[in-house]
Every structure is written in C-alpha cells, then in structure tokens.
Amino acid sequence: MKAEEILKNLDEMFPQPKCELKYKSPYELLVAVILSAQCTDKRVVSVTEKLFEKYDTPEKMLSLSQEELEGKIHSCGFYHNKAKNILSMSRALIEKYNGQVPEDLLELQKLAGVGRKTANVVYSEAFKGAAIAVDTHVLRVSNRLSLANSSLPIEVEKALMKKFDKTVWGRLHLQLVLFGRYICKSQKPDCLKCPFLNDCKYDKKNI
C-alpha cells in the first residue's frame, strides 16, 4: 500500500488528531512528555492536572525538593529519575534559556531527560515544527504496514520522513499514535476495524 493511500485512510479516521496530554505551555508539555516515558497518557494527565495547579513554571517547580516531586509523580513510574531530570531541566531553562523552552531540536536534546523522541514531540506539538516522534505505537504500526522495517526508532523516523511530505509529519505522528493506541494495539489489535487489513504484516490467523 502506498504512503498516500495510508495517509488518506488515516485522515478519514483521525481528521483532527490531538495530543492526549494536557498542557497550557511548552514547559508543561515538556514535563508531561518526560513523565509519559513507560507510562500511559491517561495516568500522566491525572498527575499533571494536580501538579500544574501550583508548579507550572521552572521557577515554581524548583521550589520542590527531589523527594517532594517524587511523591507527586510516583504513580507515573521511574519517579526517581523523572524527578531528577525535571528539576535539572527546569534549572537549565532558567540558567541558559531565560526560563523558556528552546524552539530548536538540538537545544531541546541538551536538556536532562530529553531524548530525540521527546524533543520531536515538543518541537512538533508546541512549536508546530516539522518532526516525527517515534514511540512504541508509531514503531509498531510503521513496521506492520511496511512503512519501515526496523526495531530502531531512528531508522523508522528516517523511513517515514522519506515516504511522507514534510508538511504532514506532525499530523501523521499523532494519527499513527492514535491508530496504534486504539486499533492497531500490540496485543489483540482490532483488525476488523482496520482499513489496512489486507496489507498488514500482522499474523491474522486468530481473527
């Protein structure tokens, strides 16, 4: 199946895809994405709704000790490293970026806890930059639909960038995430609702 046809179907299923994390600023989004590693967006939203009531800027976040922040984000998992990274990232924003989240991909990746995927999410979502963030959903769907053939996120990202026009990267990322989260799930995908059923590499013998 051609990339154009896949995009057409994704546009029909998710005409206005939206990030399911809740945020009111690039800083809030950055914190939420750091918390989302190995955690569901639903859980992150439940945590950040309370956290951001009082701690929605780098300055306010740094009023917390690491132990205090750990207590507030405990349910997101890996809370020790996440708290350490959020505080280090917040401190760097104040010291190097005048308290603002940088709008540059390379600068974003210099921050603690910010890898390529996190930087791509923030760059695309907060600043409307052209980027494709490859999470577990995007990785799985891309391989099943033969858009890529790799278990490495960077290789999948490169493959998608080659196949799709730069102007749709941000939308495509969100569509692939939603498609993978609700239809093309890791276990027991809902293949009967999938428009790509005949072209998918998933073993369909149990459908």
* Per-residue DSSP letter, 23: -
Please name each of the domains of the chain with its CATH number. Answer: 3-16+132-199 (1.10.1670.10), 26-127 (1.10.340.30)
The whole-chain average pLDDT of the chain stands at: 96
At 93-144, the pLDDT tens digits run 999 999 999 999 999 999 999 999 999 999 999 999 999 999 999 999 999 9
27, 48 Cβ separation under 8 angstroms: no
Up-side HSE of residue 116: CA atoms within 13 Å toward CB? 12
Tokens 């967006």 — which residue? 41
71: tokens are: 């207590």
Please list the active-site residues. 117, 135
Q: What is the mean pLDDT of residues 45-55?
A: 98
Residue 205: which pLDDT band, with cuts at 50, 70 and 90?
A: low
Instruction: Inform me whether the pLDDT recorded for 207 exceeds 70.
Output: no
146: tokens are: 């033969």
What is residue 199's predicted lDDT score, i.e. its pLDDT? Answer: 87
What is residue 181's predicted lDDT score, i.e. its pLDDT? Answer: 96
